[in-house]
Structure 1
Amino acid sequence: MPRILIVDDDPAIRDVVSFALSRAGFEIVTASDGAEGLARAGDSAPDLIVLDVMLPEMEGTEVCRAIRRSGSDVPILFLSSRDDEVDRVVGLEIGGDDYLTKPFSPRELVARVRAILRRGAPAPVPASTAATEEVLRHGRLVLDPGAARAMWDGMEVVLTATEFGLLRTLMRRPGRVLSRDALMDGAYAVERVVSDRTIDSHVRRLRAKFAAVGAAPVETLPGFGYRLGPCA
Protein backbone atom coordinates (compact mmCIF):
# COMPACT_ATOMS: atom_id res chain seq x y z
CA MET A 1 0.00 0.00 0.00
CA PRO A 2 1.58 3.35 -1.04
CA ARG A 3 2.29 5.68 1.89
CA ILE A 4 1.41 9.37 1.54
CA LEU A 5 2.83 12.07 3.81
CA ILE A 6 0.51 15.07 4.19
CA VAL A 7 2.13 18.27 5.46
CA ASP A 8 -0.36 21.08 6.19
CA ASP A 9 -0.83 23.37 9.18
CA ASP A 10 -4.63 23.57 8.68
CA PRO A 11 -6.28 20.66 10.60
CA ALA A 12 -9.37 20.84 8.38
CA ILE A 13 -7.31 20.49 5.20
CA ARG A 14 -5.29 17.66 6.72
CA ASP A 15 -8.49 15.84 7.64
CA VAL A 16 -10.05 16.28 4.18
CA VAL A 17 -6.90 15.17 2.37
CA SER A 18 -6.32 12.26 4.78
CA PHE A 19 -9.91 11.04 4.42
CA ALA A 20 -9.90 11.27 0.61
CA LEU A 21 -6.59 9.46 0.21
CA SER A 22 -7.26 6.81 2.85
CA ARG A 23 -10.57 5.99 1.15
CA ALA A 24 -8.63 5.64 -2.10
CA GLY A 25 -6.47 2.96 -0.49
CA PHE A 26 -3.39 4.87 0.64
CA GLU A 27 -1.62 4.70 3.98
CA ILE A 28 -1.49 8.15 5.57
CA VAL A 29 1.16 9.94 7.64
CA THR A 30 0.61 13.59 8.66
CA ALA A 31 2.63 16.58 9.85
CA SER A 32 1.44 20.03 10.93
CA ASP A 33 4.48 22.17 10.08
CA GLY A 34 7.57 22.21 7.90
CA ALA A 35 10.06 20.92 10.46
CA GLU A 36 7.82 18.01 11.41
CA GLY A 37 7.18 17.30 7.73
CA LEU A 38 10.89 17.17 7.00
CA ALA A 39 11.41 14.76 9.88
CA ARG A 40 8.52 12.54 8.74
CA ALA A 41 9.88 12.55 5.20
CA GLY A 42 13.06 11.05 6.59
CA ASP A 43 11.67 8.49 9.02
CA SER A 44 8.44 7.31 7.37
CA ALA A 45 9.77 6.66 3.83
CA PRO A 46 6.69 8.02 2.01
CA ASP A 47 5.95 7.16 -1.60
CA LEU A 48 4.62 10.68 -2.18
CA ILE A 49 4.37 13.94 -0.21
CA VAL A 50 1.40 16.32 -0.32
CA LEU A 51 3.03 19.57 0.80
CA ASP A 52 1.38 22.90 1.61
CA VAL A 53 3.35 25.89 0.35
CA MET A 54 2.40 28.27 3.17
CA LEU A 55 3.62 26.67 6.39
CA PRO A 56 4.64 28.39 9.64
CA GLU A 57 8.35 28.95 10.31
CA MET A 58 9.57 26.72 7.47
CA GLU A 59 7.68 27.14 4.19
CA GLY A 60 6.85 24.23 1.95
CA THR A 61 9.33 25.40 -0.68
CA GLU A 62 12.13 25.22 1.89
CA VAL A 63 11.00 21.74 2.93
CA CYS A 64 11.13 20.69 -0.73
CA ARG A 65 14.63 22.13 -1.18
CA ALA A 66 15.85 20.34 1.94
CA ILE A 67 14.38 17.03 0.74
CA ARG A 68 16.04 17.39 -2.67
CA ARG A 69 19.37 18.38 -1.10
CA SER A 70 19.25 15.15 0.89
CA GLY A 71 19.22 13.23 -2.40
CA SER A 72 15.61 12.05 -2.10
CA ASP A 73 13.60 11.82 -5.31
CA VAL A 74 10.23 11.24 -3.58
CA PRO A 75 7.41 12.84 -5.63
CA ILE A 76 6.03 16.08 -4.16
CA LEU A 77 2.57 17.52 -4.86
CA PHE A 78 2.34 21.15 -3.71
CA LEU A 79 -0.89 22.60 -2.31
CA SER A 80 -1.36 26.38 -2.29
CA SER A 81 -4.08 28.96 -1.79
CA ARG A 82 -2.29 31.19 -4.32
CA ASP A 83 -3.07 30.66 -8.00
CA ASP A 84 -0.03 32.50 -9.28
CA GLU A 85 1.96 31.21 -12.25
CA VAL A 86 5.22 32.37 -10.67
CA ASP A 87 4.48 30.26 -7.57
CA ARG A 88 3.71 27.22 -9.72
CA VAL A 89 6.88 27.66 -11.76
CA VAL A 90 9.04 28.07 -8.65
CA GLY A 91 7.48 24.97 -7.08
CA LEU A 92 8.29 22.88 -10.13
CA GLU A 93 11.75 24.33 -10.63
CA ILE A 94 12.89 23.49 -7.09
CA GLY A 95 11.84 19.87 -7.49
CA GLY A 96 8.06 19.64 -7.14
CA ASP A 97 6.20 17.21 -9.38
CA ASP A 98 2.78 18.88 -9.50
CA TYR A 99 0.85 21.85 -8.09
CA LEU A 100 -2.78 21.99 -6.92
CA THR A 101 -4.53 25.21 -5.97
CA LYS A 102 -6.94 25.47 -3.04
CA PRO A 103 -9.87 25.02 -2.93
CA PHE A 104 -9.70 21.71 -4.76
CA SER A 105 -11.94 18.73 -5.19
CA PRO A 106 -10.91 15.63 -3.21
CA ARG A 107 -11.53 13.63 -6.38
CA GLU A 108 -9.06 15.79 -8.30
CA LEU A 109 -6.50 15.42 -5.51
CA VAL A 110 -6.78 11.63 -5.61
CA ALA A 111 -6.51 11.69 -9.41
CA ARG A 112 -3.36 13.83 -9.27
CA VAL A 113 -1.76 11.58 -6.67
CA ARG A 114 -2.53 8.46 -8.71
CA ALA A 115 -1.21 10.09 -11.88
CA ILE A 116 2.09 10.98 -10.20
CA LEU A 117 2.49 7.48 -8.76
CA ARG A 118 1.65 5.92 -12.15
CA ARG A 119 4.75 7.57 -13.53
CA GLY A 120 6.39 4.68 -11.78
CA ALA A 121 9.79 4.17 -10.36
CA PRO A 122 12.63 4.85 -12.76
CA ALA A 123 13.20 1.86 -14.96
CA PRO A 124 15.31 -0.60 -12.98
CA VAL A 125 17.84 -2.91 -14.48
CA PRO A 126 16.43 -6.45 -14.01
CA ALA A 127 18.25 -8.27 -11.21
CA SER A 128 19.10 -11.13 -13.55
CA THR A 129 21.00 -8.84 -15.92
CA ALA A 130 22.15 -6.00 -13.66
CA ALA A 131 25.52 -7.55 -12.92
CA THR A 132 26.22 -8.24 -16.60
CA GLU A 133 24.94 -5.04 -18.22
CA GLU A 134 27.78 -3.33 -20.01
CA VAL A 135 29.56 -0.48 -18.28
CA LEU A 136 29.02 2.71 -20.29
CA ARG A 137 32.07 4.89 -20.98
CA HIS A 138 32.26 8.28 -22.68
CA GLY A 139 35.48 10.22 -22.22
CA ARG A 140 35.99 10.76 -18.49
CA LEU A 141 32.41 9.75 -17.72
CA VAL A 142 31.75 6.17 -16.63
CA LEU A 143 28.37 4.70 -15.72
CA ASP A 144 28.13 1.24 -14.16
CA PRO A 145 24.46 0.12 -14.24
CA GLY A 146 25.18 -3.07 -12.34
CA ALA A 147 26.64 -1.16 -9.38
CA ALA A 148 24.42 1.92 -9.90
CA ARG A 149 27.52 4.13 -9.85
CA ALA A 150 28.42 7.21 -11.89
CA MET A 151 32.06 8.31 -12.07
CA TRP A 152 33.77 11.39 -13.50
CA ASP A 153 37.52 11.11 -13.91
CA GLY A 154 37.62 8.53 -11.11
CA MET A 155 35.39 10.53 -8.73
CA GLU A 156 31.98 9.13 -7.82
CA VAL A 157 28.96 11.35 -8.38
CA VAL A 158 26.00 10.23 -6.26
CA LEU A 159 22.75 10.37 -8.26
CA THR A 160 19.11 9.70 -7.52
CA ALA A 161 17.43 6.90 -9.47
CA THR A 162 15.79 9.38 -11.86
CA GLU A 163 19.04 11.24 -12.50
CA PHE A 164 20.84 7.93 -13.07
CA GLY A 165 18.16 6.86 -15.57
CA LEU A 166 18.39 10.14 -17.47
CA LEU A 167 22.18 9.94 -17.70
CA ARG A 168 22.04 6.29 -18.77
CA THR A 169 19.62 7.23 -21.56
CA LEU A 170 21.96 9.97 -22.79
CA MET A 171 25.02 7.72 -22.61
CA ARG A 172 23.35 5.05 -24.70
CA ARG A 173 23.03 7.61 -27.51
CA PRO A 174 26.14 9.80 -27.22
CA GLY A 175 26.10 12.92 -29.37
CA ARG A 176 22.44 12.53 -30.28
CA VAL A 177 19.93 15.20 -29.34
CA LEU A 178 17.11 13.75 -27.23
CA SER A 179 13.82 15.50 -26.58
CA ARG A 180 12.44 15.71 -23.06
CA ASP A 181 9.91 12.99 -23.88
CA ALA A 182 12.64 10.71 -25.22
CA LEU A 183 14.66 11.21 -22.05
CA MET A 184 11.79 10.29 -19.75
CA ASP A 185 10.75 7.35 -21.93
CA GLY A 186 14.25 5.97 -21.50
CA ALA A 187 14.43 6.68 -17.78
CA TYR A 188 11.01 5.35 -16.75
CA ALA A 189 9.51 1.90 -17.15
CA VAL A 190 5.86 2.93 -17.60
CA GLU A 191 3.93 5.58 -19.49
CA ARG A 192 3.43 8.81 -17.62
CA VAL A 193 2.74 12.51 -18.22
CA VAL A 194 5.22 15.04 -16.87
CA SER A 195 5.70 18.72 -17.63
CA ASP A 196 8.71 20.11 -19.46
CA ARG A 197 9.63 22.05 -16.34
CA THR A 198 9.71 18.88 -14.25
CA ILE A 199 12.11 17.25 -16.71
CA ASP A 200 14.24 20.38 -16.82
CA SER A 201 14.37 20.33 -13.01
CA HIS A 202 15.75 16.77 -13.00
CA VAL A 203 18.38 17.72 -15.59
CA ARG A 204 19.28 20.86 -13.64
CA ARG A 205 19.97 18.84 -10.50
CA LEU A 206 21.96 16.29 -12.52
CA ARG A 207 24.11 19.10 -13.92
CA ALA A 208 24.64 20.66 -10.50
CA LYS A 209 26.04 17.40 -9.14
CA PHE A 210 28.53 17.11 -11.98
CA ALA A 211 29.42 20.80 -11.74
CA ALA A 212 30.54 20.09 -8.17
CA VAL A 213 33.33 17.91 -9.59
CA GLY A 214 34.15 20.32 -12.41
CA ALA A 215 32.22 18.54 -15.15
CA ALA A 216 29.50 19.59 -17.60
CA PRO A 217 28.51 16.44 -19.51
CA VAL A 218 24.96 17.45 -20.48
CA GLU A 219 24.44 20.05 -23.19
CA THR A 220 21.23 21.96 -23.97
CA LEU A 221 20.06 22.70 -27.50
CA PRO A 222 17.28 25.29 -27.07
CA GLY A 223 14.11 24.22 -28.81
CA PHE A 224 15.39 20.66 -29.37
CA GLY A 225 16.41 18.98 -26.11
CA TYR A 226 19.57 17.63 -24.51
CA ARG A 227 22.61 15.65 -25.56
CA LEU A 228 25.72 14.16 -24.01
CA GLY A 229 28.75 16.34 -24.70
CA PRO A 230 32.32 15.21 -25.49
CA CYS A 231 33.32 14.61 -21.80
CA ALA A 232 36.96 14.99 -22.73
Structure 2
Amino acid sequence: MDKQLTKILVVDDDPALRQLLAEYLNRHGYDTLLAPDASDITQRITKFSPDLIVLDRMLPGGDGVETCRRLRAQNEDIPVILLTAKDETADRIIGLESGADDYLGKPFDPRELLARIETVLRRKKGASALVKETPVHFGPFTFDPARRQLFKDNVQVKLTGGEINLLEALVKNSGKPLSRERLLALARDDDEGERNDRAIDIAILRLRRAVEDDPKDPRWIQTVWGIGYRFSPDA
Protein backbone atom coordinates (compact mmCIF):
# COMPACT_ATOMS: atom_id res chain seq x y z
CA MET A 1 0.00 0.00 0.00
CA ASP A 2 1.27 3.43 -0.94
CA LYS A 3 1.80 5.19 2.37
CA GLN A 4 1.08 8.58 0.80
CA LEU A 5 -2.47 7.40 0.15
CA THR A 6 -2.90 5.66 3.51
CA LYS A 7 -5.23 7.38 5.97
CA ILE A 8 -4.95 6.84 9.72
CA LEU A 9 -7.68 7.90 12.16
CA VAL A 10 -6.23 8.44 15.66
CA VAL A 11 -8.85 8.48 18.45
CA ASP A 12 -7.35 9.41 21.84
CA ASP A 13 -8.37 11.83 24.61
CA ASP A 14 -4.78 12.95 25.27
CA PRO A 15 -4.21 16.06 23.07
CA ALA A 16 -0.42 15.92 23.49
CA LEU A 17 -0.30 12.29 22.36
CA ARG A 18 -2.64 12.98 19.44
CA GLN A 19 -0.40 15.79 18.24
CA LEU A 20 2.75 13.71 18.70
CA LEU A 21 1.31 10.83 16.67
CA ALA A 22 -0.01 13.16 13.97
CA GLU A 23 3.40 14.77 13.49
CA TYR A 24 5.22 11.42 13.58
CA LEU A 25 2.86 9.60 11.20
CA ASN A 26 2.69 12.58 8.84
CA ARG A 27 6.50 12.61 8.67
CA HIS A 28 6.34 8.99 7.56
CA GLY A 29 3.93 9.74 4.72
CA TYR A 30 0.56 9.01 6.32
CA ASP A 31 -2.52 11.21 6.14
CA THR A 32 -3.70 11.54 9.74
CA LEU A 33 -7.05 12.61 11.16
CA LEU A 34 -7.41 13.21 14.92
CA ALA A 35 -10.43 12.76 17.21
CA PRO A 36 -10.69 13.22 21.01
CA ASP A 37 -13.43 10.59 21.42
CA ALA A 38 -15.43 7.98 19.52
CA SER A 39 -18.83 9.67 19.77
CA ASP A 40 -19.11 10.25 16.01
CA ILE A 41 -16.67 7.64 14.75
CA THR A 42 -19.12 6.26 12.17
CA GLN A 43 -19.48 9.69 10.58
CA ARG A 44 -15.72 10.17 10.61
CA ILE A 45 -15.25 6.80 8.91
CA THR A 46 -17.80 7.71 6.23
CA LYS A 47 -16.23 11.13 5.60
CA PHE A 48 -12.53 10.26 5.94
CA SER A 49 -12.53 6.58 4.79
CA PRO A 50 -9.50 5.64 6.93
CA ASP A 51 -7.37 2.63 6.09
CA LEU A 52 -6.67 2.01 9.78
CA ILE A 53 -7.87 3.28 13.18
CA VAL A 54 -5.63 3.81 16.21
CA LEU A 55 -8.16 3.67 19.06
CA ASP A 56 -7.59 4.41 22.74
CA ARG A 57 -8.94 1.79 25.16
CA MET A 58 -10.28 4.33 27.69
CA LEU A 59 -12.21 7.26 26.23
CA PRO A 60 -14.54 9.87 27.74
CA GLY A 61 -18.12 8.93 27.00
CA GLY A 62 -17.18 5.58 25.48
CA ASP A 63 -14.96 2.54 25.74
CA GLY A 64 -12.54 1.62 22.95
CA VAL A 65 -13.35 -2.08 23.25
CA GLU A 66 -17.10 -1.43 23.00
CA THR A 67 -16.48 0.93 20.08
CA CYS A 68 -14.51 -1.77 18.30
CA ARG A 69 -17.27 -4.32 18.95
CA ARG A 70 -19.85 -1.90 17.59
CA LEU A 71 -17.84 -1.32 14.42
CA ARG A 72 -17.50 -5.07 13.85
CA ALA A 73 -21.23 -5.54 14.47
CA GLN A 74 -21.80 -2.95 11.73
CA ASN A 75 -19.55 -5.04 9.45
CA GLU A 76 -16.81 -2.39 9.40
CA ASP A 77 -13.64 -4.33 8.59
CA ILE A 78 -11.22 -1.39 8.91
CA PRO A 79 -8.15 -2.56 10.87
CA VAL A 80 -8.05 -1.32 14.48
CA ILE A 81 -5.04 -1.03 16.79
CA LEU A 82 -6.06 -0.50 20.43
CA LEU A 83 -3.94 1.67 22.75
CA THR A 84 -4.24 1.21 26.50
CA ALA A 85 -2.58 1.97 29.81
CA LYS A 86 -3.50 -1.57 30.80
CA ASP A 87 -1.10 -4.20 29.52
CA GLU A 88 -2.24 -7.33 31.34
CA THR A 89 -2.71 -10.50 29.29
CA ALA A 90 -6.44 -10.69 30.12
CA ASP A 91 -7.00 -7.14 28.94
CA ARG A 92 -5.13 -7.79 25.69
CA ILE A 93 -7.30 -10.86 25.09
CA ILE A 94 -10.48 -8.81 25.66
CA GLY A 95 -9.24 -6.23 23.17
CA LEU A 96 -8.44 -8.80 20.50
CA GLU A 97 -11.73 -10.63 21.08
CA SER A 98 -13.55 -7.35 20.43
CA GLY A 99 -12.26 -7.46 16.87
CA ALA A 100 -9.09 -5.37 17.21
CA ASP A 101 -6.24 -6.38 14.90
CA ASP A 102 -3.49 -5.49 17.38
CA TYR A 103 -3.00 -4.14 20.90
CA LEU A 104 -0.31 -1.80 22.22
CA GLY A 105 0.21 -0.82 25.86
CA LYS A 106 1.07 2.71 26.98
CA PRO A 107 3.62 4.18 27.21
CA PHE A 108 5.03 3.13 23.85
CA ASP A 109 7.66 4.21 21.37
CA PRO A 110 6.03 5.75 18.26
CA ARG A 111 8.41 3.60 16.20
CA GLU A 112 6.73 0.49 17.60
CA LEU A 113 3.28 1.83 16.72
CA LEU A 114 4.52 2.63 13.20
CA ALA A 115 5.87 -0.92 12.84
CA ARG A 116 2.57 -2.39 14.01
CA ILE A 117 0.59 -0.15 11.65
CA GLU A 118 2.68 -1.24 8.69
CA THR A 119 2.40 -4.92 9.68
CA VAL A 120 -1.39 -4.75 10.01
CA LEU A 121 -1.72 -2.88 6.70
CA ARG A 122 0.48 -5.41 4.90
CA ARG A 123 -1.63 -8.24 6.28
CA LYS A 124 -4.82 -6.43 5.24
CA LYS A 125 -3.44 -5.69 1.78
CA GLY A 126 -2.49 -9.33 1.27
CA ALA A 127 -5.97 -10.52 2.22
CA SER A 128 -7.63 -7.88 0.02
CA ALA A 129 -5.45 -8.82 -2.93
CA LEU A 130 -6.59 -12.44 -2.69
CA VAL A 131 -10.23 -11.35 -2.65
CA LYS A 132 -9.73 -8.87 -5.45
CA GLU A 133 -8.17 -11.42 -7.79
CA THR A 134 -10.91 -14.02 -7.33
CA PRO A 135 -13.84 -13.85 -9.79
CA VAL A 136 -17.26 -14.10 -8.12
CA HIS A 137 -19.96 -16.24 -9.71
CA PHE A 138 -23.69 -15.81 -9.11
CA GLY A 139 -26.28 -17.42 -11.35
CA PRO A 140 -25.27 -16.82 -14.99
CA PHE A 141 -23.05 -13.88 -13.94
CA THR A 142 -19.32 -13.61 -13.24
CA PHE A 143 -17.81 -10.47 -11.74
CA ASP A 144 -14.06 -10.12 -12.27
CA PRO A 145 -12.75 -7.53 -9.74
CA ALA A 146 -9.25 -7.51 -11.24
CA ARG A 147 -10.63 -6.45 -14.64
CA ARG A 148 -13.61 -4.57 -13.12
CA GLN A 149 -15.97 -6.27 -15.54
CA LEU A 150 -19.25 -8.15 -15.25
CA PHE A 151 -20.11 -11.02 -17.60
CA LYS A 152 -23.34 -12.89 -18.25
CA ASP A 153 -22.79 -16.26 -19.92
CA ASN A 154 -19.31 -15.01 -20.94
CA VAL A 155 -20.74 -11.86 -22.59
CA GLN A 156 -19.73 -8.56 -20.98
CA VAL A 157 -22.51 -6.56 -19.35
CA LYS A 158 -22.09 -2.83 -19.94
CA LEU A 159 -22.05 -0.88 -16.68
CA THR A 160 -21.03 2.68 -15.83
CA GLY A 161 -17.98 3.34 -13.66
CA GLY A 162 -20.24 4.22 -10.73
CA GLU A 163 -22.23 1.00 -11.13
CA ILE A 164 -18.99 -1.02 -11.21
CA ASN A 165 -17.83 0.76 -8.04
CA LEU A 166 -21.12 -0.08 -6.36
CA LEU A 167 -21.05 -3.72 -7.46
CA GLU A 168 -17.42 -4.05 -6.36
CA ALA A 169 -18.28 -2.63 -2.91
CA LEU A 170 -21.17 -5.07 -2.54
CA VAL A 171 -19.14 -8.06 -3.78
CA LYS A 172 -16.16 -7.32 -1.50
CA ASN A 173 -18.58 -7.30 1.44
CA SER A 174 -20.56 -10.33 0.28
CA GLY A 175 -23.18 -11.40 2.80
CA LYS A 176 -22.76 -8.24 4.90
CA PRO A 177 -25.50 -5.59 5.10
CA LEU A 178 -24.08 -2.20 4.11
CA SER A 179 -25.69 1.08 5.04
CA ARG A 180 -26.33 3.72 2.39
CA GLU A 181 -23.72 5.87 4.15
CA ARG A 182 -21.12 3.14 3.87
CA LEU A 183 -21.97 2.46 0.23
CA LEU A 184 -21.62 6.18 -0.50
CA ALA A 185 -18.10 6.06 0.92
CA LEU A 186 -17.09 2.79 -0.77
CA ALA A 187 -18.64 3.43 -4.20
CA ARG A 188 -17.96 7.14 -4.55
CA ASP A 189 -16.90 8.26 -8.00
CA ASP A 190 -15.43 11.76 -7.94
CA ASP A 191 -16.32 12.22 -11.60
CA GLU A 192 -20.00 11.89 -10.73
CA GLY A 193 -20.00 14.76 -8.25
CA GLU A 194 -21.75 14.80 -4.88
CA ARG A 195 -23.90 11.76 -4.17
CA ASN A 196 -26.60 11.12 -1.58
CA ASP A 197 -28.80 8.34 -0.27
CA ARG A 198 -31.29 8.78 -3.11
CA ALA A 199 -28.47 8.47 -5.66
CA ILE A 200 -27.44 5.15 -4.09
CA ASP A 201 -31.03 3.89 -4.30
CA ILE A 202 -31.19 4.83 -7.99
CA ALA A 203 -27.80 3.19 -8.67
CA ILE A 204 -28.98 0.02 -6.89
CA LEU A 205 -32.13 -0.02 -9.05
CA ARG A 206 -30.04 0.29 -12.23
CA LEU A 207 -27.72 -2.46 -11.06
CA ARG A 208 -30.68 -4.68 -10.28
CA ARG A 209 -32.05 -4.11 -13.76
CA ALA A 210 -28.74 -5.39 -15.12
CA VAL A 211 -28.53 -8.57 -13.03
CA GLU A 212 -31.98 -9.46 -11.66
CA ASP A 213 -34.72 -11.38 -13.45
CA ASP A 214 -37.21 -9.30 -11.46
CA PRO A 215 -35.73 -6.06 -10.03
CA LYS A 216 -38.82 -5.68 -7.80
CA ASP A 217 -38.10 -9.07 -6.22
CA PRO A 218 -34.29 -9.14 -6.21
CA ARG A 219 -32.36 -12.34 -5.66
CA TRP A 220 -28.74 -11.18 -5.59
CA ILE A 221 -28.87 -7.55 -4.39
CA GLN A 222 -31.20 -7.65 -1.41
CA THR A 223 -32.68 -4.84 0.64
CA VAL A 224 -31.96 -5.03 4.37
CA TRP A 225 -34.74 -2.98 5.91
CA GLY A 226 -33.55 -0.26 8.25
CA ILE A 227 -29.92 -0.69 7.16
CA GLY A 228 -29.30 -0.68 3.41
CA TYR A 229 -28.34 -3.44 0.96
CA ARG A 230 -26.57 -6.79 0.87
CA PHE A 231 -25.05 -8.89 -1.92
CA SER A 232 -25.98 -12.58 -1.58
CA PRO A 233 -24.28 -14.67 -4.30
CA ASP A 234 -25.64 -17.93 -2.88
CA ALA A 235 -29.26 -16.76 -2.66
TM score, norm. by length of structure 1? 0.56
Other-structure match for 2:39: 35
Give how far 1:38 is off.
3.8
Other-structure match for 1:72: 76
Other-structure match for 1:157: 175
Give how far 1:130 is off.
6.5
Q: Would you say 1:117 and 2:117 are equivalent positions?
A: no
Other-structure match for 1:148: 171
Amino acid at match of 2:147: S
Give how far 1:63 is off.
1.3
Other-structure match for 2:147: 128
Other-structure match for 1:189: none
Q: Would you say 1:60 and 2:64 are equivalent positions?
A: yes
Other-structure match for 2:231: none
After TM superposition, the runs of 4+ consecutive aligned structure 1 residues lying more than 6 A away are none
5+ long unaligned stretches in structure 1: 135-144, 151-155, 161-232
- The one of 20, 27, 32 equivalent to 1:23 is 27
Higher relative contact order (CA 8 A, sep 6+): 1
Closer, same or farther: CA 133–53 of 1 in aligned 2, 3 Å: farther
Closer, same or farther: CA 109–133 of 1 in aligned 2, 3 Å: farther
Question: Are the counterparts in 2 of residues 52 and 78 from structure 1 also a CA contact under 8 Å?
Answer: yes
Give the secondary structure class of the aligned counterpart of 1:49: strand
Other-structure match for 2:13: 9
Distance in 1, matches of 2:92 and 2:152, equals 40
Give how far 1:149 is off.
8.3
Distance in 1, matches of 2:105 and 2:77, equals 23
Closer, same or farther: CA 149–96 of 1 in aligned 2, 3 Å: closer
Give RMSD over aligned pairs.
Answer: 3.0
Q: What percentage of residue pairs aligned between the two structures are identical? A: 41
TM score, norm. by length of structure 2? 0.55
Closer, same or farther: CA 13–129 of 1 in aligned 2, 3 Å: closer
- 1:145-168 CA distances to partner (integer Å, 9 max, x unpaired)? 9x8389xxxxx83279xxxxxxxx
Give how far 1:131 is off.
4.2
Distance in 2, matches of 1:149 and 1:8, equals 30
Other-structure match for 1:92: 96
Give the secondary structure class of the aligned counterpart of 2:8: strand
Amino acid at match of 1:40: R
Give how far 1:41 is off.
2.2
- 1:10-69 CA distances to partner (integer Å, 9 max, x unpaired)? 101111111111111000111101203343123211000000000011111121112112
Distance in 2, matches of 1:44 and 1:110, equals 20
